A and B are shown apart, each in its own frame.
Chain A
């Protein structure tokens, strides 16, 4: 599925300093019944965001007008649990283009990269710095610079570099996905398959 190219993103950020945020919280299973990929953002963090009667829970950060932006800053082990790509869709569909955490669960990280959300892994210390900066001033801007692989807190100038493999980086910069690549080497795949026993 095509997504917008990612280059340099400068935005305020939404803090969610909880650990082990699993994909069942990001999007509960009962919202996986779609046969199309649309509207998942409405149910992002559904059970943390809304009461049973559908009214917003005021204490949850997405309902707090002070915080907004295209960057979500989560706690350690973000995106653990179920492999549902719907979690990454929901994050993207809500309007986030980047998730920052000191540690990501594998499948979620992969899924993000496949749908155009950049996962940025930072050190625990830097993660703390971001939270502090946002809490001090919710208008603090964070710059995520994909070409340079850096993340910067604009107000303090604090900066850290992050890792991404060069293949995925190219994809994100160009808005390509893996299927485009695989389609181009189909012949090679078929000859590989011909040599298999089973």
Chain B
């Protein structure tokens, strides 16, 4: 019988099926960070349980860490306490821990793939919804709650009902200045933030086949923003080339054997999906959001839609525009901005910094703009230096910060002040996400760069 990529990976990880209930689902790789794990360890202790397979769990500190002066003690006492808890728990249970200052430290979804912890056909979870990022490697990867973190620590399993399957095809050639981020924001704008709830998505079509691993990660990362549990892309030569010789990737014969297996991980001809959608690459332009959820995105040259034209409640829509200080039918081009944030597990990889640099090269940062450029990991940071990108951005008046989640969720000091506008390459524009009262415009690194040098929302195609 023909089956989908998703079925192949899911079914091979079911330990037991419960009649009328969820599957007992085995987890190959588990990432933990300082914010959602302390309570899980507390639960473990109070029940007197141990960690079943410590070698399958990896800890990194990223969510609340400062992005300057990381060599100094963390000032915020609560953050420091969480970081200490992560370190102590990791040590106590024998889990590898890449804490602040460690050469391998960085955002969990950046360092996982970078080190070859992620591999095709794996099941991966973490107490962070953007765990879907790892789907780029043909994994079933998704975010879980703290109770589930405790389950994985103690039994390496969680209880999950099998989601429905959706395939999203994008075919054709992407236009100039159109990046993977734009493809994802476009799809979310078409589906809304709940359009894929209950589904697991497979992305297919030449647009994804031609994408780099970094691009695929950006797309899969944003799957959660349309409500999907996760998204995945079949592994291919691009995937294998990326993973080969990564520190924790298999080596020699074991690698060859694994690749032979990974090549079977694709959707068979004629396999059925519960829902299938197809889009044209040529319909996608650089995107930007104007509201308070990631589904409220439009092509950068377009105007903010009429309340009547959008699905859903008019009251909710107006509340959202009100928060943003925008009106129906406003053009986005030319809107003044105050902050630019380049970073996060969505767009904090080397390719994103290359894209940013391609625009700001030879130009100057607009005076009134505060820009936070935050690499996703030390490895990204090192490459930025090696490739001469640091020189380009420094020349243009920007500084580089140290790795972490930073203004993506603003748990550390990187908070956008109330009422200010930030063009952000991260993943969520919810009210207050980037700091109480902050206003977020989600966009690609190219759009962020264009805004950083002009000080207003600008079509990056004019600067390329």
A36–B21 touching, CB < 8 Å: no
Chain B residues within an 8 Å CB radius of A22: 293, 428, 430
Chain A residues within an 8 Å CB radius of B315: 17-18
Residues A179 and B430 in contact in the complex (CB < 8 Å), given A28-B436, A36-B39, A37-B39: no
Nearest-Cβ distance from residue A77 to partner chain B, whole angstroms: 4
Number of A-B contacts (CB under 8 A): 196
Pick the interface stretch among A5-13, A61-69, A151-159, A162-170.
A162-170
A193–B20 touching, CB < 8 Å: no
CA distance A37 to B15 in the complex (A): 30
Among residues of B, the one whose C-beta sits closest to the C-beta of A181 is B159
Interface check B211, CB cutoff 8 A: no
Among residues of A, the one whose C-beta sits closest to the C-beta of B80 is A33
Interface check B66, CB cutoff 8 A: no
Nearest-Cβ distance from residue A136 to partner chain B, whole angstroms: 19
Residues A19 and B410 in contact in the complex (CB < 8 Å), given A114-B145, A189-B15: no
Interface check A133, CB cutoff 8 A: no
A75–B147 touching, CB < 8 Å: no
CA distance A19 to B291 in the complex (A): 13
Interface check B432, CB cutoff 8 A: yes
Contact among A1, A52, A182, A198 with B159 in the assembled complex (CB-CB below 8 Å): A182
B82–A167 touching, CB < 8 Å: no
B151–A179 touching, CB < 8 Å: yes
CA distance A190 to B15 in the complex (A): 10
Nearest-Cβ distance from residue B305 to partner chain A, whole angstroms: 16
CA distance A22 to B431 in the complex (A): 9
Chain B residues within an 8 Å CB radius of A114: 145, 147-148
A192–B145 touching, CB < 8 Å: no
A106–B431 touching, CB < 8 Å: no
B82–A35 touching, CB < 8 Å: yes
CA distance A20 to B20 in the complex (A): 29
Q: Which of A17, A35, A181, A186 has the most CB of B within 10 A?
A: A35
* Contact size range, A: 35 or more
Contact among B129, B194, B229, B432 with A47 in the assembled complex (CB-CB below 8 Å): B432
Contact among A25, A32, A167 with B20 in the assembled complex (CB-CB below 8 Å): A167
Contact among A24, A82, A189 with B157 in the assembled complex (CB-CB below 8 Å): A189
A24–B428 touching, CB < 8 Å: yes
Among residues of B, the one whose C-beta sits closest to the C-beta of A24 is B430
Pick the interface stretch among B42-50, B97-105, B451-459.
B42-50
Secondary structure dominating the interface of B: loop
Residues A178 and B428 in contact in the complex (CB < 8 Å), given A33-B411, A106-B198: no
Nearest-Cβ distance from residue B442 to partner chain A, whole angstroms: 13
Chain B residues within an 8 Å CB radius of A96: none
Chain A residues within an 8 Å CB radius of B76: 33
Among residues of A, the one whose C-beta sits closest to the C-beta of B161 is A165
Among residues of B, the one whose C-beta sits closest to the C-beta of A20 is B293
CA distance A182 to B433 in the complex (A): 35
Chain B 292-336 interface mask (CB, 8 Å, partner A; 1/0): 010000000000000000001101100100000000000000000
CA distance A32 to B431 in the complex (A): 17
Nearest-Cβ distance from residue B223 to partner chain A, whole angstroms: 12
State which residues 67-108 of B face A: CB under 8 Å: 76, 78-79, 81-82, 85
Nearest-Cβ distance from residue A143 to partner chain B, whole angstroms: 24
Pick the interface stretch among B22-30, B178-186, B273-281, B369-377.
B22-30
Chain A residues within an 8 Å CB radius of B49: 179, 183
Chain B residues within an 8 Å CB radius of A190: 52
Contact among B22, B42, B82, B316 with A165 in the assembled complex (CB-CB below 8 Å): B22
List 16 additional contacts besides A178-B148, A189-B156; criterion CB under 8 Å. Answer: A20-B293, A24-B432, A35-B38, A35-B81, A76-B312, A81-B430, A107-B129, A111-B145, A167-B18, A179-B151, A182-B151, A188-B15, A193-B53, A197-B261, A198-B250, A198-B258
* 30 sampled A-B residue pairs with Cβ under 8 A: A18-B319, A22-B430, A24-B430, A24-B431, A33-B76, A33-B82, A36-B38, A52-B418, A76-B312, A76-B313, A80-B227, A83-B36, A83-B129, A83-B144, A85-B36, A85-B127, A85-B147, A86-B146, A103-B197, A110-B145, A167-B159, A182-B151, A183-B49, A183-B155, A185-B15, A189-B157, A192-B15, A197-B258, A198-B122, A198-B258
Residues of chain A touching chain B, judged by Cβ–Cβ distance below 8 Å, are 1, 17-20, 22, 24-25, 28-30, 32-37, 47, 52, 75-77, 80-86, 88, 103-107, 110-111, 114-115, 165-168, 177-179, 181-183, 185-186, 188-190, 192-193, 196-198
Ranked 7 nearest A-B pairs via Cβ:
A167-B21, A85-B145, A83-B143, A166-B20, A33-B78, A83-B129, A111-B145
